[in-house]
Chain A
Amino acid sequence: MNVLVFLIPISLFLGALGMVACLWTLRTRQYDDLEGDAARVLLDREPEDP
């Protein structure tokens, strides 16, 4: 069971990492225009960001 000493912090760290990533996507407003972002992938040249 000693392995838990490593495994639990690792799992908690990964979880926290996921949450921070999720909050980052929110803060950088990546959900404002889902349809447009989906279409922009297809552009040859991304028009520069505002």
Chain B
Amino acid sequence: MTALADPHDLVEARRHMVLSVPDMRCAGCIAGVEGALKALPEVGEARVNLGEKQVRVSGRFTDAAPLIAALDAKGFTAREMDETALAPTVDAEGRGLLMRIGVAGFGMMNVMILSVAIWSGASEVTRDLFHWISAAIAVPAVIYAARPFAASALTALRVGRVNMDVPISLAIFLALGMSVHEAYVGGEDAWFDAALSLTLFLLIGRYLDHRTRRAARSAAAALTALEVPRATLVEDGRDRVVPTAELAIGDHIRVVPGARVPVDAEVVEGEADLDRSLLTGESLPVHAAPGTDVAAGETVLDAPLVLRTTAVGEDTSLRRMARAVAVAEGARGKHVALADKAARIYAPLVHSLAAIGFTGWFIATGDVHKSLLVAVALLIITCPCALGLAVPAVSVSASGRMFKLGLLLKSATALERLAQVDAIVLDKTGTLTTGTARLDHLGPEAASVALGLARASDHPVSRAIAAALPDVRAAELTAVREVSGEGVEGRWKGRPVRLGRSPTGTELVLPDRDPIDVSPTEALRPGAVELIAAAQRAGLPVMLLSGDRTAPVRRLAEALNLPDWRAEADPQDKLALLREQAAQGRKVLMVGDGLNDAGALAAAHVSIAPATALDAARAASDAVLLGGDLSVIPKALDLSQQARRRILQNFGLAATYNAISIPIAMAGLATPLMAAAAMSTSSILVVLNAIRLRVR
């Protein structure tokens, strides 16, 4: 083991930590969180990032516990984050793009001032002087600012393809070259301002696009970072916390109630119930005793276990599943983004138009200079400014609104794929339902005893019971103890009481009374009914696909009025079903949370996982539902369809502009002033159209 793992070395080694504090919303919270942390002697600095809901702490501390306790005292829930899984905080690409935007923007402004003077009548020597000053600003500015387009165009050309950046670069650099030539020969029209504003608008589009992707990526990384991969190693009778990656086969590890098993292992010591719902979809816990094999990702419920690891790292069942998911994901790469589709039509069209303009004029007049001017005017006026902004402006606007709703888009094309959904497949356990108890039938005494007993245990049934009794005061109990696999026992007013397993489910046993059945029923997640109602209104077929046993699945399907359901589906069944649907041309939205759903999530046309889902399921999904409310999904579907309409409208707008300006440019009548006006108005219109999106 490395020296870092030794707690005494950690004092000196560990100086930085990132905590996630999701409740921070206002200025007061910033002061509260930073104040609470800085009040601790071991903390040197604390800086809140409100946008990311994180606080970065540095100082001399060994672990997060005292920091989290200090924040807890102020009413903030905090969790430690795994820094290695976080996206780098310095966004080099974004800053580079902003720099270029700055250079192009200020260059454009200065050139525009000179251009306005030229358009309003400067002539002869003054005009030439202004042209030369413009050139002095525009040439270096364009060469610096338009580099991303030129680089991308060159890469595409090298492999024999044409992308949107080829006509862009051609227009920018031809305009620049032509303008320098015009300045040299003392011509009337120079296109310096056009070259710069073209660069500026396109850079803005590129930056918006980059920001959407980065926001999604870093938020997804933050979700992963919330699970610090650590394990408690039992060595020479001592417990030691080590990174999961350092475990070797045969190591003994301890897993406390409520924690996830980090690797595949076999039980050596202890008996406990295990929650396998994330792996199999089963809603009932299973019992584990020495000799039982447990898989990474299962949750230990009620008693500590000592395990001997049988597989680590890439060999664990969790990882094998994740690899299967990666394979299923490969199939999704076929989706072509709308912008790329537009580029495929646009690029050859523009090139042939410019070529026609040039040859037409050359044949008619024999004047190379005039013909080239027409070709350049055509390239600039058909500028894809509006096209370049059409998609990113809508994406930024739509994903921002989705984030406010509580849906985080992880994939760049998720928005477009969401708009195409024509069927929905839902997982049951953990997605549509959460386990809770209905305890209206308990009298006040029984309720208070039940709460007292339930609080003593971390078992999901106990937690569900405790959650179902929010306004009850717990009875004072003595000698409370948890019997693994059986329940909680105690004494109430000196007489024995018990909350635990019964032949039919869970029962509460009070002195001198018949046992009361308190079996938890599966409760629907909030918004489940709305989701299904909205889907049926929209005519989308909804299917329930669960790994749970037939009876509970049928019960839920009937309660929700869903004719189409399938139970006892293992991960392969789920994957096969989704593939079959895809083969029939259905565009399925899959919502699931378990490892058993991961393959299906990856194979679906588009997929959503709740934030409570297992890492692998979240990784396989296109979007993560941050709150618990499923009614966000129909809203998001509606939003994505609006976004698709806006994108198409934007394409339409850009095409209209071109339809008007191309004949003018062909006739050789286009002036730099016209180009500047058309470029700015079309870009502004496209952006305004994008921000019209509304959540309904």
B51 touches A36 (CB 8 A): yes
CA distance A45 to B286 in the complex (A): 55
Which residues of the partner chain B approach A35 to less than 8 Å between Cβ atoms? 50-51
Which residues of the partner chain A approach B52 to less than 8 Å between Cβ atoms? 33
> Which of A36, A47, A49 interacts with B35 by CB under 8 Å?
A47
Mark each residue of chain A from 6 to 50: 1 if its CB lies under 8 Å from any CB of chain B, else 0: 001001100110110011001000011111100111111101011
Mark each residue of chain B from 99 to 122: 1 if its CB lies under 8 Å from any CB of chain A, else 0: 100110111011001000000000
Residues of A whose CB lies within 8 Å of any CB of B are: 1, 4, 8, 11-12, 15-16, 18-19, 22-23, 26, 31-36, 39-45, 47, 49-50
Interface residue tally on B, bucketed by range: 20 to 34
Which residues of the partner chain A approach B106 to less than 8 Å between Cβ atoms? 15-16, 18-19, 22
> Which of A11, A26, A40 interacts with B102 by CB under 8 Å?
A26
**A23-B102, A39-B27, A39-B30 known; A33-B51 Cβ under 8 A:** yes
Q: A23 → chain B, closest Cβ, in Å?
A: 6
Interface residue B570 (Cβ < 8 Å from any Cβ of A):
no
A1 touches B126 (CB 8 A): yes
Interface residue B31 (Cβ < 8 Å from any Cβ of A):
yes
Can you list 24 A-B contacts (CB < 8 A)? A8-B133, A12-B133, A12-B137, A15-B109, A18-B109, A19-B102, A19-B103, A19-B107, A26-B102, A31-B98, A32-B89, A33-B49, A33-B50, A34-B51, A35-B50, A36-B51, A39-B27, A39-B30, A43-B30, A47-B30, A47-B34, A47-B46, A49-B47, A50-B46
Q: B144 → chain A, closest Cβ, in Å?
A: 11
Which residues of the partner chain A approach B50 to less than 8 Å between Cβ atoms? 33, 35-36, 39
Mark each residue of chain B from 25 to 47: 1 if its CB lies under 8 Å from any CB of chain A, else 0: 01100110011001000000111
Q: A31 → chain B, closest Cβ, in Å?
A: 7
Interface residue B369 (Cβ < 8 Å from any Cβ of A):
no
A43 touches B27 (CB 8 A): yes
CA distance A43 to B50 in the complex (A): 14
Q: A16 → chain B, closest Cβ, in Å?
A: 8
CA distance A40 to B107 in the complex (A): 33
Within 8 A of A (CB), among B67-83: none
Which residues of the partner chain B approach A42 to less than 8 Å between Cβ atoms? 27
Interface residue B323 (Cβ < 8 Å from any Cβ of A):
no
Interface residue B606 (Cβ < 8 Å from any Cβ of A):
no
CA distance A4 to B132 in the complex (A): 14
Q: A40 → chain B, closest Cβ, in Å?
A: 6
CA distance A30 to B137 in the complex (A): 27
A40 touches B113 (CB 8 A): no
Q: A26 → chain B, closest Cβ, in Å?
A: 6
Interface centre among A11, A18, A33, A43 (most CB of B within 10 A): A33
Q: A24 → chain B, closest Cβ, in Å?
A: 10
> Which of A11, A32, A45, A47 interacts with B110 by CB under 8 Å?
A11
A23 touches B30 (CB 8 A): no
A39 touches B110 (CB 8 A): no
Which residues of the partner chain B approach A45 to less than 8 Å between Cβ atoms? 31
**A39-B27, A43-B27, A47-B34 known; A32-B99 Cβ under 8 A:** no
CA distance A41 to B51 in the complex (A): 15
What residue of chain A has the Cβ atom nearest to residue B96's Cβ?
Answer: A26
Which residues of the partner chain A approach B49 to less than 8 Å between Cβ atoms? 32-33, 36
Interface residue B95 (Cβ < 8 Å from any Cβ of A):
yes
Which residues of the partner chain B approach A49 to less than 8 Å between Cβ atoms? 47
A23 touches B45 (CB 8 A): no
Interface residue B194 (Cβ < 8 Å from any Cβ of A):
no
B99 touches A23 (CB 8 A): yes
Which residues of the partner chain A approach B613 to less than 8 Å between Cβ atoms? none
B26 touches A22 (CB 8 A): no
Which residues of the partner chain B approach A1 to less than 8 Å between Cβ atoms? 126
CA distance A34 to B113 in the complex (A): 31
Within 8 A of A (CB), among B492-516: none
CA distance A17 to B105 in the complex (A): 13
Which residues of the partner chain A approach B48 to less than 8 Å between Cβ atoms? 33, 36
**A11-B113, A47-B35 known; A26-B51 Cβ under 8 A:** no
CA distance A3 to B596 in the complex (A): 77
Which residues of the partner chain A approach B129 to less than 8 Å between Cβ atoms? 4
B102 touches A47 (CB 8 A): no
B109 touches A40 (CB 8 A): no
Q: B139 → chain A, closest Cβ, in Å?
A: 15
> Which of B30, B102, B103, B109 interacts with A36 by CB under 8 Å?
B30
CA distance A43 to B103 in the complex (A): 34
Across the A-B interface, the 9 shortest Cβ-Cβ residue pairs: A36-B50, A19-B106, A42-B27, A39-B27, A22-B102, A15-B110, A35-B51, A50-B45, A33-B49
Q: A35 → chain B, closest Cβ, in Å?
A: 4
Which residues of the partner chain B approach A40 to less than 8 Å between Cβ atoms? 27, 30
What residue of chain B has the Cβ atom nearest to residue A44's Cβ?
Answer: B31
Within 8 A of A (CB), among B102-158: 102-103, 105-107, 109-110, 113, 126, 129, 133, 137
CA distance A14 to B187 in the complex (A): 28
What residue of chain A has the Cβ atom nearest to residue B33's Cβ?
Answer: A47
Q: B18 → chain A, closest Cβ, in Å?
A: 13
CA distance A50 to B34 in the complex (A): 11
